Amino acid sequence: MPRKKELSFEESLARLESIVAQIEKGDTDLQELMANYSEGIQLSKNCLMSLERAEKAMDLMVQEKDGQIIQSELTIEGK
């Protein structure tokens, strides 16, 4: 299946899981089987890549004063 945009990790994983489940049912024809297989392999590569790429996001501290959200970087003592 052609993909327009890059899938997020969770979308990729969900798609991979559904492909595995579909192949496990065993009622696909050869062409579909091979298409599913190569898509599944690509998805698992993408998933692993995004897991490895994941970097620590900047943490935030938020407060609300007079209806305004005040946002600042969160610093952790002794981290």
Partner 1 sequence: MAVYSVSDVTRYIKSLLSQEQALQHLMVRGEISNFRCYPSGHCYFTLKDAASTLKCVLFSSRARRLRFQPVNGLQVVATGNITVYEKDGAYQLLVDTLLPEGTGDLALAYEQLKEKLQAEGLFDQAHKQSLPRFPRRVGVVTSSAGAVLRDIYHVISHRWPAAQIVLYPVQVQGEGSAEQVAAGIEFFNRRHREQPVDVLIAGRGGGSMEDLWSFNEEIVVRAIYASKIPIISAVGHETDFTLADFAADVRAATPSQAAELAVPDRSELVRYVDSLSARLVQITKRQLQNKRLRLNAALQSTALRAPQQLLAERRQRLDKASLRLQQLMEAALKQRRHRLELALGKLDMLSPVHVLRRGYGLIEHGNSIVTSVKQIKPGDELVLTFKDGRIRATAGDKLPTLPEHKADMRKGVS
Which residues are near partner 1 by CB under 8 A? 9-10, 13, 16-17, 19-20, 23-24, 26, 28, 30, 33, 36-37, 40-41, 44, 47-48, 51-52, 54-64, 69, 71, 74, 76-79
Report the b/e string of 28-60 with b at 16+ CB within 10 A: eeeeeeeebeeebeebeebbeebeeeeeeeeee
Closer Cβ to partner 1, 3 or 18, answer by number = 18
Least gap, CB of 3 to partner 1 (angstroms): 18
